[in-house]
Amino acid sequence: MKGRMIAPGNTKGEAIVSPEPIGFYGGIDINTGVVIEKNHPLEGSCVKDKILVFPNGKGSTVGSYVIYGLKKNGVAPAGIINKETETIVATGVILAGIPCVDQIDISQIKTGDMVFLDADNSEVTINK
């Protein structure tokens, strides 16, 4: 699948897919990478080294710092794939250097799929 590059890089990993938007601030623990938002579809899952797939960001504008902090703390996702990346997530992945592509039909990706994310070429490949 071809999308739009938000932040460059090339990575692969197991997909973890949220059908709901993610607010990083208050949504993901900056020290552990575990999703802590109550009643979120991914509550209790860890995003570390995964390809994190979700439609768009939501909530606090501090989210960019949380993404940056996840990376510095070694618990960041390996890559991010969105339907539509908004400024908060874009700022976070650019600063943190996490490969990110958007404008992808994320309904094609299921949790557990092996995903190759070639952000440099704005490309996503899925291995079922």
Partner 1 sequence: MYLTNKEEAILNGEQGEVMGRLFRLLTRLGEIYNADKMIPVGSVQVAGVSYKSIGDPGLAFLEDIAKQHVKVKVLTFLNPAGMDLEHWKELGFPKDFAENQLRIMDAFKDMGIVVTSTCTPYLAGNLPRFREHIAWSESSAVSFSNSVIGARTNREGGPSALAAAICGLTPNYGLHLWENRQPTMKITVDANLSYAADFGALGYYVGKQVKNKIPYFTGIPDVNTDFLKALGAAMAASGAVALYHIEGLTPEADLVENKNLETIHVSQQDLDETYETLNQGKDPDIIIFGCPHASLREIATLAEQVQGKQLKKPVWICTSRLMKEASDRMGFTEIIEDAGGKIVADTCMVVSPIEQMGYKTTAVNSGKAANYLPGFCKQEVVYNNMHKLIKEALA
Q: Least distance to partner 1 from the beta carbon of 93, Å?
A: 10
Calculate the alpha carbon distances from 110 to 101, 113, 116 in Å.
17, 6, 13
Annotated catalytic residue 107:
no
Annotated active-site residue in 18, 45, 60, 107: 60
Map residue 44 onto helix, strand or coil: coil
**Distance between CA atoms of 60 and 80, rounded to whole angstroms?**
18
Do the beta carbons of residue 112 and residue 15 sit within 8 Å? Answer: yes
Binding mask 35-64 for partner 1 (x = CB under 8 A): -xxx-----------------xxxxxxxxx
Q: CB-wise, 103 or 113, nearer to partner 1?
A: 103
Q: Least distance to partner 1 from the beta carbon of 69, Å?
A: 4
**Distance between CA atoms of 80 and 89, rounded to whole angstroms?**
9
Do the beta carbons of residue 108 and residue 79 sit within 8 Å? Answer: no
Binding mask 94-123 for partner 1 (x = CB under 8 A): xx----------------------------
Q: Which residues lie near partner 1 (CB under 8 A)? A: 4, 6, 21, 23, 25-27, 30-31, 36-38, 56-66, 68-69, 71-73, 84-92, 94-95
